[in-house]
Amino acid sequence: MLQFSVLASGSSGNSVYIRSDETALLLDAGISGKQIQQRLAEAASASLSSIDAVLVTHEHVDHVRGLKQVMKLSGGSLYITEGTWHHVQKQLEDVCTKDDRRFVKADESFVIGDIRVTPFTVSHDAEEPVAYRFDAGEDSLAVVTDLGYVSDHIKGIIRGCGTYVWEANHDVDMLRAGRYPWSVKRRILGDKGHLSNEDSAVALADLLENREVDVFLAHLSEENNQPDLAELTVTSILREMSATFAEQVRLHRTARHTATALRSIGSV
Ligand SMILES: [Zn+2]
Ligand SMILES: [Zn+2]
C-alpha cells in the first residue's frame, strides 16, 4: 500500500508526503516547517514526528526552504546526494549529524522500511540533482520535476508506475512573451531547466502502455502557466498523438497553497 499527498507544488515551494503501511517519507521541504506541519495534519492527520526519512532532490530553495526545521522536528534520517549536501550542509549543521545522513547515488535503489526508493539523475542546473521512484508491494509512484528533458534512461526507470507527479512547468508562448529577462527565459527553456506543458505531454506519451495512469501535473510556474492551460495542452497533445492516450491518462491538479487529499495509488 502506498499513499501520498503533494503538500505544495510550484516554483514557490515543493514537498510530497509518501507513506506505506510501515513507513512515512517526506520528499523535499520547499515550504516552511510550520506549513509542512499544518498541511500534513490537514491532508493526512500526520505530523513531522512520524516521518522516518526526509529525501531531497536538489539544493534550489523551492525544495529546501524548510529543511532545517523539518530535520529538527522529524528526527528522521536525511537522504541526499553528496552534491546537494554540499549546498545545505551549513544550514543543517546543528540538526543533522553524520549518523542522520545517508548519501544516495543515481540508479542505486535502497530500502527505507517497506518502501523501495530509486533515485535517478535529472538534467537540471543544480549540483547532482535527482528525482525518485517509490515502490511498495504492487504500488509505484514517480515524482519527476525540475528537469530540462526526460531522457530515455529516465523513461526506462519510471515506466510502469501507476502514478506520476509530473512536471508541466510553463507554456512556451507565455514564457517567451512574459516579463522574465532573456537570460532567465533561456535557462528555463534549456536542457537544464524545466519541462514545458508540450514536453511534459510528449514524454508522458512515451510512458503509456496499455493501461490507465494517474498524473498529477506539478511544479507549474505562477508567472508562465495556468492549471487549465496545462491540462488542456497535455490532453490535446496526447489526443493528437493517439486516440487512446488521452483516455489512459487521468489528470489531477497540485497546488501552491494547499495539499492534495491523501490518495492511495491505484484508487480511482
Ligand atoms: Zn523546483
Ligand atoms: Zn530546481
Q: All domains of the chain, ordered by start, with CATH?
A: 3-264 (3.60.15.10)
Return all residues near 117 (Cβ < 8 A) that are at least 6 apart: 25, 55, 79, 104, 109, 110, 111, 132, 133, 134
Grid coordinates representing 142? 514517480
Average pLDDT over residues 152-158: 98
Considering every ligand atom shown, identify the ligand nearest to the alpha carbon of residue 169 and give its number: 1
Helix/strand/coil (H, E, C) string of the chain? CCEEEEEECCCCCCEEEEECCCCEEEECCCCCHHHHHHHHHHHHCCCHHHCCEEECCCCCHHHHCCHHHHHHHHCCEEEECHHHHHHHHHHHCCCCCHHHEEECCCCCCEEECCEEEEEEECCCCCCCCEEEEEEECCEEEEEECCCCCCCHHHHHHHCCCCEEEEECCECHHHHHHCCCCHHHHHHHHCCCCCCEHHHHHHHHHCCCCCCCEEEEEECCCCCCCCHHHHHHHHHHHHHHHCCCHHHHEEEEECCCCCCCCCEECCCC
- For the stretch 49-97, pLDDT in tens is 999 999 999 999 999 999 999 999 998 999 999 999 999 999 999 999 8
Distance 93 CA to ligand 1 centre (A): 23
Average pLDDT over residues 207-227: 94
pLDDT at 75: 86
Distance 90 CA to ligand 2 centre (A): 19
Distance 31 CA to ligand 2 centre (A): 14
pLDDT at 267: 63
Distance 54 CA to ligand 2 centre (A): 17
Distance 72 CA to ligand 1 centre (A): 23
Average pLDDT over residues 139-160: 97
pLDDT at 256: 95
Considering every ligand atom shown, identify the ligand nearest to the alpha carbon of residue 125 and give its number: 2
Considering every ligand atom shown, identify the ligand nearest to the alpha carbon of residue 219 and give its number: 1
Considering every ligand atom shown, identify the ligand nearest to the alpha carbon of residue 28 and give its number: 1
In which order are the strands placed within the sheet that holds 115-121?
Answer: 110-112, 115-121, 130-136, 139-144, 163-167, 213-218, 249-253
- With bands split at pLDDT 50, 70 and 90, how would you rate the model's confidence at 230? very high
Distance 176 CA to ligand 1 centre (A): 19
Residue in the block written with cell 491538479: 253
Tell me what the pLDDT averaged over the chain comes to.
Answer: 96
Q: Which residue, 144, 237, 124, 127, is CA-closest to 190? A: 124
Percent of the chain at pLDDT exceeding 90: 94
Considering every ligand atom shown, identify the ligand nearest to the alpha carbon of residue 218 and give its number: 1
Considering every ligand atom shown, identify the ligand nearest to the alpha carbon of residue 14 and give its number: 1
Considering every ligand atom shown, identify the ligand nearest to the alpha carbon of residue 10 and give its number: 1
Distance 247 CA to ligand 1 centre (A): 29
The set of long-range contacts for 125-128, using a CB threshold of 8 Å and a minimum separation of 24, is 125/187, 125/190, 125/192, 125/193, 126/58, 126/59, 126/60, 126/83, 126/84, 127/58, 127/59, 127/81, 127/83, 127/84, 127/86, 127/87, 128/58, 128/81, 128/82, 128/83, 128/84
Distance 96 CA to ligand 2 centre (A): 23
Distance 197 CA to ligand 2 centre (A): 17
- With bands split at pLDDT 50, 70 and 90, how would you rate the model's confidence at 143? very high
Distance 19 CA to ligand 1 centre (A): 22
pLDDT at 268: 53
Average pLDDT over residues 181-208: 95
pTM to 2 decimal places = 0.97
pLDDT at 174: 95
Average pLDDT over residues 176-195: 94
- With bands split at pLDDT 50, 70 and 90, how would you rate the model's confidence at 243? confident
pLDDT at 171: 96
pLDDT at 63: 98
